[in-house]
């Protein structure tokens, strides 16, 4: 589907840097230097041609709309404790996201799910220890581009 833009403001192109510099250079007046009786020939300014490359062959007032792809969101139900989407372990991105979210909860006063010593005061290390002990009741949703997804509990992942 192709639509035409109706606003005339959208059709005007702003001048390029070279065009604005060349306009300023032609407006400046030359001041002749005072020499001891010798006349010098004034050089005429050489006009440079500005070549603009078009990025597209479409007209500027044309807007192209593409149809959206619709799909149904469907859950894959695993048989047993099998991970059907993605690797059978936590990815580094999932681990970082879970650790960061749990660390924020701990820093805001949430109770710890594992016992920890008084020496450990860092919320990130406590969150990492909870994740390694698989004490967090969190599920990870892995989604495929076609709309299929699987909710995977952290206990299933290595």
Looking at residue 19, what is its pLDDT? 59
What was the pLDDT predicted at 63?
82
Which among 133, 99, 139, 95 has a CA at the least distance from the CA of 116?
Answer: 133
Distances (CA, A) of 73 to 66, 82, 145: 21, 20, 10
SS3 assignment, position 151: strand
pLDDT at 136: 93
Would you list the domain boundaries of the chain?
A: 74-156
Res 25: pLDDT = 55
Domain range 74-156, its CATH number among 3.50.50.60, 3.90.940.10, 3.40.50.1100, 3.90.180.10: 3.90.940.10
Output the tens digit of pLDDT for each of the chain's 158 residues.
556 555 555 445 556 655 555 555 555 555 655 555 566 667 777 777 766 666 777 777 888 888 887 778 899 888 888 899 999 999 999 999 999 999 999 999 999 999 988 787 799 999 999 999 999 999 999 999 888 999 999 999 87
Contact 88, 157 (CB under 8 A): yes
- Name which of 21, 20, 26, 16 is nearest 52 in CA terms: 16
pTM of full prediction above 0.85: no
């Amino acid at each position: 589907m192709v639509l035409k833009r109706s606003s005339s403001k959208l059709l005007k192109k702003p001048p390029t840097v070279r065009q604005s510099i060349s306009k300023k250079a032609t407006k400046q007046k030359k001041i002749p230097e005072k020499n001891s009786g010798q006349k010098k020939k004034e050089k005429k300014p050489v006009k440079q041609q500005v070549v603009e490359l078009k990025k597209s062959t479409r007209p500027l007032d044309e807007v192209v709309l593409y149809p959206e792809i619709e799909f149904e969101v469907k859950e894959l139900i695993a048989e047993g404790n099998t991970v059907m989407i993605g690797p059978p372990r936590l990815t580094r991105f999932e681990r970082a996201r879970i650790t960061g979210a749990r660390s924020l909860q701990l820093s805001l006063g949430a109770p710890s799910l594992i016992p920890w010593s008084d020496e450990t005061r860092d919320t990130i290390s406590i969150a990492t220890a909870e994740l390694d002990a698989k004490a967090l009741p969190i599920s990870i949703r892995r989604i495929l581009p076609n709309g299929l997804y699987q909710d995977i509990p952290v206990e299933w992942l290595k």
